[in-house]
Amino acid sequence: MQADPRALRFAAVVTTIVLALVLVTGSAWLLAAQAVVFALSIFGVSPYGMVFKGIVKSPPRELEDAAPPRFAQGVGLAFALVGLVGYVTQITPLALGATAAALFAAFLNAAFGFCLGCEMFLIIRRLLPAAR
């Protein structure tokens, strides 16, 4: 599977804005919505990506492998879920910490094109020797 890198970057920008709004408003519902977006994106049906495709009709100059960003969306989902648990149970440090971590990664991707979630793969694999 190949993906349009511009659509991925656009999705990262929208994700950054949504997560920043979650922190400002403290809305668990908004975070839940973002978690659904993360979950859909793992399966290659990124709602933000579809918005991008609706606006931009020109073909991308080059495509890139879709597997790394999809994996990163999974990492994003994990953080969003932890954040949701924090909001629901009103453990504020957990809610803010997890959401801020997801925002950190989304912003790095949006502003620098650096996929922090992708980098987690090897680190997780190193920590889980038994999974081999």
Partner 1 sequence: MVLVTLVAATLAGVVLRRRSGVPREVRGDVERLTSGDLEADLGERATLVQFSSAFCQPCRATRRVLAEVTEMVPGVAHVEIDAESRLDLVRSLNILRTPTVLVLDASGHVVKRASGQPRKVDVIGALGLAVGE
> Residues interacting with partner 1, by CB under 8 A?
20, 23-24, 64-65, 67-69, 71-72, 96, 100, 103-104, 107-108, 111-112, 114-115, 118-119, 121-123, 125-126, 129, 132
Residue with tokens 């399966």: 43
Which residue number, 85 or 118, has a Cβ lying nearer to partner 1?
118
Tokens found for residue 1: 């599977």
Handedness of CA 75, 80, 86, 89 (dihedral sign): negative
**Other beta carbons within 10 Å of 70:** 19
**Shortest approach of partner 1 to residue 107 CB, angstroms?**
4
For the chain, the residue count is 132
**Shortest approach of partner 1 to residue 71 CB, angstroms?**
4
**Shortest approach of partner 1 to residue 37 CB, angstroms?**
19
17 in Cβ contact with 111 (< 8 Å): no
**Shortest approach of partner 1 to residue 110 CB, angstroms?**
9
Which residue number, 29 or 112, has a Cβ lying nearer to partner 1?
112
Which residue number, 41 or 57, has a Cβ lying nearer to partner 1?
41
> Which residues fall within 8 angstroms of residue 42, CB to CB, at 6 or more apart?
70, 73, 74, 77
